[in-house]
Structure 1
Amino acid sequence: MKIGIVCPYSWDVPGGVQFHVRDLAEHLIREGHSVSVLAPADEGTPLPPYVVSAGRAVPVPYNGSVARLNFGFLSAARVRRWVHEGDFEVLHIHEPAAPSLALLTCWTARGPIVATFHTSNPRSRAMIAAYPILQPALEKISARIAVSEYARRTLVEHLGGDAVVIPNGVDVGFFAGAEPKAEWQGGTIGFIGRIDEPRKGLPVLMEALPRILARCPQTRLLVAGRGDEAEAVGRLPEGMRDRVEFLGMISDEDKARLLRSVDVYVAPNTGGESFGIILVEAMSAGAPVLASNLDAFAQVLDGGEAGQLFPNEDAEALAATPVGLLGDAGRREELRRRGSRHVRRFDWSTVGADILAVYETVTAGAGAVAPDDRVGLLGRLGFSRD
């Protein structure tokens, strides 16, 4: 099958949607399908052979974060050329409700379109306000996927229609087979995420750290991600700052090794999460998981059976839990076993088959869908030429 996948966010800035698109494309290629991915990318960014650059992206505030998106006249022309030259049997777009390549593809495309909705935002005024603009594009979508029940709920409440829930996928074997790293073992807590994005929760973890160290002084916090390291430890007492080790941006291989090495993986995210791919990766690697009790995280962790939950933004409760886990090898092993069993449902062998079944359904009854000329609309929305 000839499949075109549209990634809305810049390929050179790591994120859950980009990783999902990458892993889906590589899974489909391994299964023998022809796949092309269209994504924003800054000039000079190394790209896999299956990725086509749609040009540089610009930062746009979106869902409590800053997304790097690509949208405008030149982008629309690149989308049209990619769609025409690709002659795809099915187009799979991600986040069509964002002002992105996915929305431009909806307006341009002929033939069956599958859309995946990742965002969970139950009070999105912007999405409600944008509905009249989005509606003509959304009506061209043949099938909708939501990565979680909470992403599905956002879609239903704000945009109408419904979606089948298919979670994000993970190569479970890749994480399970990683080699632990000796220097990352022994009383270690792991955190992976953007340091300077408050909703990822590092400030909550830093607030809890003095209480953790008071009970377990040999504990180390290993932090992987980009951001201002000095600012991140700024509120810690001077004598405790050496207990935090910043690893910077790490490769996928080192991420897997880190998750295989730590005694506890902590996800203190405060909101804006529709799934929680890092939790699945941590469980795949056998790391006992401690996460804030966001709805999406609770669902991924099977209501707390496959990982331990703490009240969102409660630094005191967060501090108490890893102290207990670090001192209880039996409880850590129990969480490892439960997580390893639970995570099998997220493996690409299952998730990829479910997505392919959606493709086959829409292509079996596909009728041509007329392209939509929206150049005038782009102008009215205030987008200038790239």
Structure 2
Amino acid sequence: MCPYSWDVPGGVQFHIRDLAEDLIRRGHEVSVLAPADEDTPLPPYVVSAGRAVPVPYNGSVARLNFGFLSAARVRRWLHDGGFDVIHIHEPASPSLGLLSCWAAQGPIVATFHTSNPRSRAMIAAGPILQPALEKISARIAVSEYARRTLVEHLGGDAVVIPNGVDVGFFADAEPKSEWQGLDAPGSVAGGAARAATIGFIGRIDEPRKGLPTLMRALPRILAERPGTRLLVAGRGDEQEAVASLPEAVRGQVEFLGMVSDEDKARLLRSVDLYVAPNTGGESFGIILVEAMSAGAPVLAGDLDAFRQVLDGGAAGELFPVEDADALAAAALRLLSDPARRSALRAVGSAHVRRFDWSVVGGEILSVYEMVTDGAASVAPDERTRLRGRLGLTRG
């Protein structure tokens, strides 16, 4: 069950899509219920629950689906599916997740994605949500910070299983010559032959993605490395995004708009440095894993979730959140140090194996097997290990 609109891509939707496709590759039958507009192209395994409406949520805007008609569609989907296990994402949100919790019978697995340590709304709604949440057989959190939000606001606990990435898809992508810079084949060490390229992927007009911080750092970067280009992929007002920049340097920012998964991978394979200047509200950081999978050195804001994904800073460098001067200094240092960038690539490429769907999908499947009194396809020792991590018993 997907709580957010399928036609406006985001981390939760990508997680659900990739998990569904991993399970299908393993031979399982999968159905996904998700809000979607009538003209949205849907994979064969996705069932539309109708149109969603935008709602401000956790520093962003979530497109949710809720109400009597949605509840009827949830009940019909559950009735027609005859599922062995129901996997609900964000069951505490006012969306299909909560409706599914109310309506579902049988084994329920829930994944909690949100990290919001000061959610007054979640605290206030706790007593109302508890009867539905008590039906959940096993809980998964995508990070320690999502788990902490669950524990502090709603009680109970969860096993931490991170978001997954198809590491090979990003690692094998073909770089695009027009997006390449210092590290392109034939470049001279130190950047004499080619200028550097910095990458950013995210919604331009969503403040917590941090593009304004990167824009404030850009003039200093360009003052020392005049040919540097910033490649920005994502939707939003491009003119507003560069409005704070001096007119003379605006041409160094290239907006690519929304890009396909293939072009996202090619972009990450091409840039000399990927910058994630996010300001908060992140429970994981899937873009960091994608960047490391593609071999891009990562420079990220020092959020708790990002620090965890980057192995405490070993797999990527961190700078103080919203500190444009520190971002510029770190970017200049990395762009001038090919050996350091190479070292980050090596560490990142090894670190991301933990997040490959071959690992993550197997752990989620182990939870399914545990709550449905497991089939022989999952090793008994893996079920025992996960049962201990969950701290749960059947019944």
Could you tell me the TM-score, scaled by structure 2's length?
A: 0.91
Which residue of the partner structure matches residue 93 of structure 1? 88
State the alpha-carbon separation in 2 of the partners of residues 359 and 13 from structure 1.
28
State the alpha-carbon separation in 2 of the partners of residues 219 and 91 from structure 1.
49
TM-superposed CA distance for 1:132, in Å, is 1.4
2:30 aligned counterpart, secondary structure: strand
**Aligned letter for 1:79?**
V
TM-superposed CA distance for 1:145, in Å, is 0.1
State the alpha-carbon separation in 2 of the partners of residues 50 and 234 from structure 1.
43
1:183 aligns with 2:178: yes
State the alpha-carbon separation in 2 of the partners of residues 364 and 100 from structure 1.
29
Which residue of the partner structure matches residue 15 of structure 1? 10
- Of 303, 321, 339 in structure 2, the residue corresponding to residue 312 of structure 1 is 321
TM-superposed CA distance for 1:43, in Å, is 1.1
Q: Deviations over 1:222-257 (max 9, x none)?
A: 000000000000010000000000000000000000
1:335 aligns with 2:344: yes
Which residue of the partner structure matches residue 305 of structure 2? 296
State the alpha-carbon separation in 1 of the partners of residues 335 and 236 from structure 2.
27
State the alpha-carbon separation in 1 of the partners of residues 212 and 121 from structure 2.
27
State the alpha-carbon separation in 2 of the partners of residues 175 and 107 from structure 1.
39
State the alpha-carbon separation in 2 of the partners of residues 308 and 191 from structure 1.
15
State the alpha-carbon separation in 1 of the partners of residues 361 and 44 from structure 2.
20
Could you tell me the TM-score, scaled by structure 1's length?
A: 0.93
State the alpha-carbon separation in 1 of the partners of residues 219 and 34 from structure 2.
42
State the alpha-carbon separation in 1 of the partners of residues 55 and 355 from structure 2.
30
Q: How high is the sequence identity, in percent, across the aligned residues?
A: 84
Which residue of the partner structure matches residue 152 of structure 1? 147
- Of 111, 123, 139 in structure 2, the residue corresponding to residue 116 of structure 1 is 111
Which residue of the partner structure matches residue 137 of structure 1? 132
1:73 aligns with 2:73: no
State the alpha-carbon separation in 1 of the partners of residues 236 and 333 from structure 2.
30
- Of 244, 268, 272 in structure 1, the residue corresponding to residue 277 of structure 2 is 268
**Aligned letter for 1:265?**
Y
Q: Deviations over 1:305-348 (max 9, x none)?
A: 00000001100000011111111110000000000010000000
Q: Deviations over 1:264-297 (max 9, x none)?
A: 0000000000000000000000000000000000
Which residue of the partner structure matches residue 233 of structure 1? 242
State the alpha-carbon separation in 1 of the partners of residues 10 and 214 from structure 2.
21
State the alpha-carbon separation in 2 of the partners of residues 328 and 14 from structure 1.
35
State the alpha-carbon separation in 1 of the partners of residues 239 and 128 from structure 2.
43
TM-superposed CA distance for 1:133, in Å, is 1.3
State the alpha-carbon separation in 2 of the partners of residues 355 and 36 from structure 1.
16
- Of 341, 349, 364 in structure 2, the residue corresponding to residue 355 of structure 1 is 364
Q: Deviations over 1:172-231 (max 9, x none)?
A: 000000000000001100000000000000000001000110111110000000000000
State the alpha-carbon separation in 2 of the partners of residues 82 and 91 from structure 1.
11
Which structure is richer in relative contact order (CA contacts within 8 A, separation 6 or more)? 1
TM-superposed CA distance for 1:140, in Å, is 0.3
1:189 aligned counterpart, secondary structure: strand
**Aligned letter for 1:125?**
R
Q: CA RMSD in A?
A: 0.9
Which residue of the partner structure matches residue 263 of structure 2? 254
